[in-house]
C-alpha cells in the first residue's frame, strides 16, 4: 500500500513551504517541514560552538540530542522540538541555511533523521516537504510533486521573506547563496536533491501560490482522493 504521505520536494526557496502549507490547509491535514530538522541540528551545533563540517563533534552531539516533531502548546502543525525546546523562527536565521546543508550531506546525520521523519507521518495523511521525501524518505508516497522556479524568482521570493536574508542582501547575492546550496544538495552522496521519476513537475516561476495549490489539488483529484 502507498504510504500516507504527499511529498513536495524541490530546491531552496522554490515555494515548497507555501505550497505545502496551503495544500495541508485545503485537505485539512498536518504539514511537516523536514528542512527544520537539518536546521535544528545546525542551530544546536552553533549554540555549542561546533562546526557544521566537524563530523566527529557532530556525531558526539547527536548521541546526546533528542529531536522529534511535536505539536506546540499553542497548536498548529507539528514543529521541531530539540532537547525539549521549540526553536521556531530562530531556525530561519540567514546563517543557519548553509549549516543545514552542510550537516544534511553527512550520511550518519541522514540516518539519524530518517526515522524521525517516518515517525512523524505514522498512521496519518500528511503533507511533507523537503529534498528527498519522494526519493528516499517515502519512495512509496501517495503523491509526489517536484516544485521549482527560476533562480531569479527564487531569489526574489527569499528576499521577500523578512529576516531570512542578511541586511545587505541583493537579488544577486541571494541567488548566489541559493545556487551554492543547491549545488551541494544535488551533489552529495546520500539522498541528493533530485526529482523522483514518478513525481509531478511544477515550475512555479509564473504562477501564484493559488495557481500552484490548484495544480496540486487537480492532480490529487485525478488520482482519486481528496
Which positions touch ligand CDP (CB under 6 A)?
12-13, 34-35, 38-39, 97, 100-101, 104, 130-133, 181, 185
Residue closer to ligand CDP by CB (options 100, 220) is 100
Q: Which residues contact 206 (CB under 8 A, 6 or more apart)?
A: none
- Selection from 117, 114, 97, 78 nearest residue 165 by Cα: 97
Residue closer to ligand CDP by CB (options 104, 226) is 104
- Selection from 89, 165, 95, 101 nearest residue 132 by Cα: 101
Residue closer to ligand CDP by CB (options 79, 132) is 132
What's the closest the beta carbon of residue 70 comes to ligand CDP, in angstroms?
18
User: How many Å apart are CA 169 and CA 80, to the nearest integer?
Assistant: 28
What's the closest the beta carbon of residue 207 comes to ligand CDP, in angstroms?
17
Residue closer to ligand CDP by CB (options 149, 207) is 149
- Please report where in the chains the cell 533562480 appears, as a residue: 151
C-alpha cell at 189: 552522496
What's the closest the beta carbon of residue 188 comes to ligand CDP, in angstroms?
8
Contact yes or no for 102/52 (Cβ under 8 A):
yes
- Selection from 49, 53, 59, 47 nearest residue 103 by Cα: 53
Residue closer to ligand CDP by CB (options 67, 226) is 67
What's the closest the beta carbon of residue 224 comes to ligand CDP, in angstroms?
27
CA 145 to chain centroid: 13
What's the closest the beta carbon of residue 219 comes to ligand CDP, in angstroms?
21
Amino acid at each position: 500500500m502507498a504510504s500516507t504521505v504527499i511529498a513536495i520536494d524541490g530546491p531552496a526557496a522554490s515555494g515548497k513551504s507555501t505550497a505545502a502549507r496551503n495544500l495541508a490547509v485545503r485537505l485539512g491535514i498536518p504539514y511537516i517541514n523536514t528542512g527544520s530538522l537539518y536546521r535544528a541540528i545546525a542551530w544546536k551545533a552553533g549554540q555549542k560552538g561546533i562546526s557544521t563540517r566537524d563530523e566527529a563533534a557532530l556525531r558526539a552531539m547527536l548521541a546526546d540530542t533528542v529531536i522529534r516533531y511535536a505539536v506546540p502548546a499553542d497548536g498548529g502543525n507539528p514543529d521541531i522540538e530539540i532537547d525539549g525546546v521549540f526553536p521556531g523562527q530562530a531556525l530561519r536565521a540567514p546563517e543557519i541555511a548553509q549549516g543545514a546543508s552542510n550537516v544534511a550531506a553527512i550520511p550518519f546525520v541522514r540516518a539519524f533523521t530518517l526515522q524521525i521523519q517516518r515517525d512523524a507521518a505514522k498512521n496519518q495523511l500528511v503533507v511533507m516537504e523537503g529534498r528527498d521525501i519522494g526519493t528516499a524518505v517515502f519512495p512509496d508516497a501517495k503523491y509526489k510533486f517536484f516544485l521549482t522556479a527560476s533562480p531569479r524568482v527564487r531569489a526574489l521570493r527569499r528576499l521577500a521573506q523578512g529576516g531570512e536574508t542578511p541586511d545587505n542582501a541583493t537579488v544577486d547575492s541571494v541567488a548566489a547563496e541559493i545556487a551554492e546550496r543547491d549545488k551541494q544538495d544535488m551533489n552529495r552522496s546520500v539522498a541528493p536533491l533530485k526529482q523522483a521519476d514518478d513525481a509531478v513537475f511544477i515550475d512555479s516561476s509564473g504562477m501564484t501560490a493559488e495557481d500552484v495549490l490548484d495544480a496540486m489539488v487537480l492532480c490529487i483529484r485525478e488520482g482519486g482522493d481528496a
